[in-house]
Amino acid sequence: MVKFIVGCFISAFTCVYLQAWGQELPDSVPRRIILNVTENMASSVAINWQTSSQVRESFAEIALADADPRFVDKAVRKKAETEFVRLGDTVSSSYHSLVFDDLTPNTKYAYRVGQGNSWSEWFHFVTASDKETDSFQFIYFGDVQVNIRSLWSRVIREAFAKAPNARLQLYAGDIINRANRDEEWADWFEAGGFIHSMIPGLPSPGNHDHFNLPNGERAASVLWRPQFNLPLNGPEGLEETCYFVDVQGVRFISLNSDQAEESDHYLEAQRIWLERLLQHNPNTWTVVTFHHPIYSPKGTRDNKRMRETFKPLFDRYHVDLVLQGHDHTYARGMSKIPMEGKGKASGTMYVVSVSGPKMTGSHVEKKSWMDRSAIYTQLFQIVDVSSQKLSFKAYLATGELYDAFDLIKQEGNINKLVEQIPAGVPERQ
């Protein structure tokens, strides 16, 4: 199926932000190749890539990975859906997407994308296990946002060096700074390079990934859906920005906090949808991610709508981990956050982090809910999940361990928090 997306259908005002590639259009060789999470990552994977607008159809080929290079003779080819994306008055590029399904769990595959004489290299990826008892890792990034190619690239590369076998990469919003500025998306894809092509992404949009419509409403970047291929299991109107994925005993839930902050309708729609997901959740662990923090490290911010709407659900259904961004600093806490209407701790760990170089120094306070914090610090986080223990490690951009804790399941009680803060490493205040 071929779809046309007109980036300047809104107004001349928004066209200012829909900047194309400058003087050079992408050619027929695939670029911006990215894997995305699916509802069942044990048996499927989603792929997106970009070419010049002259490419009207493109394909992906997949095979079991093998050290014998003749594996390519066994590759299966599948045709992609193609979208022509207009930025300004011209067609900027074509975006191609597909889902490979009926894959074998916990298996290494090789794939490439392209058409004619223009093909990418072969990439490897590993499907998730279909057994909840099998442990796995995932990577968590706070805001990327600015100076992406120059200063964020080192962060994702350090993360990949620490966790090359991670099952997914989670982004807590503000992936770029100006939602419809193509050059910034180009920087993000270049900074991640082949890592985007090997570890599926689970992006949750932030306020900078949205833009204002002429009627005063907000919308995700016109490039969000063409360049990502995410589950369509969220509330109507929030497709591919609000969704969930189950992976090896963990339910990952992405909320669209920008729309929740701006719209009563989307706030209530997400509340109803989230409660249903939490109420009927067969997984051992629950991880929720969104952009605007329930508890803000910044003294001038207070996301009251988010806290009053969603925290009671986190308490009621014992959400284990909430991963957020927005405040361009690091803070996490659990032990001093009370359950709604009760004096005892809620058992939910709240984390705010930042991976890009845009920092908040002023108005950041050491608040009572924080167990560990940092300012002017680029970080990435690696989370190891097993059937009864979740181990969280926050690393500096230079690779040193800065913070760590374990959450241990306790039958009939909240999670046990075991601090693992590295000895001799002071808080970066």
Percentage with pLDDT > 70 across the chain: 93
* 3 pLDDT tier (thresholds 50, 70, 90): very low
Rounded Cα gap, residues 326 and 29, in angstroms: 35
pLDDT score for 340:
79
Tokens of 75: 């590759």
Using an 8 Å Cβ cutoff, are 244 and 238 in contact?
no
Per-residue pLDDT at 2 exceeds 90: no
* 26 pLDDT tier (thresholds 50, 70, 90): low
Structural domains in the chain?
2-126 (2.60.40.380), 136-419 (3.60.21.10)
Tokens of 37: 């999470």
Per-residue pLDDT at 88 exceeds 80: no
The residue among 223, 235, 218 whose CA lies nearest residue 269 is 235
pLDDT score for 224:
97
Rounded Cα gap, residues 374 and 18, in angstroms: 35
The residue among 272, 379, 366 whose CA lies nearest residue 323 is 379
Model confidence pLDDT, tens digit, residues 229-244: 999 999 999 999 999 9
Per-residue pLDDT at 378 exceeds 80: yes
What's the predicted TM-score (pTM) here?
Answer: 0.93
Average pLDDT value for residue range 54-81: 97
* 90 pLDDT tier (thresholds 50, 70, 90): low
* 22 pLDDT tier (thresholds 50, 70, 90): very low
pLDDT score for 194:
98
Per-residue pLDDT at 382 exceeds 90: yes
Sort strands 90-100 and 81-87 into parallel, antiparallel or unpaired. antiparallel
Sort strands 123-126 and 136-141 into parallel, antiparallel or unpaired. unpaired
Model confidence pLDDT, tens digit, residues 352-368: 999 999 998 777 778 88
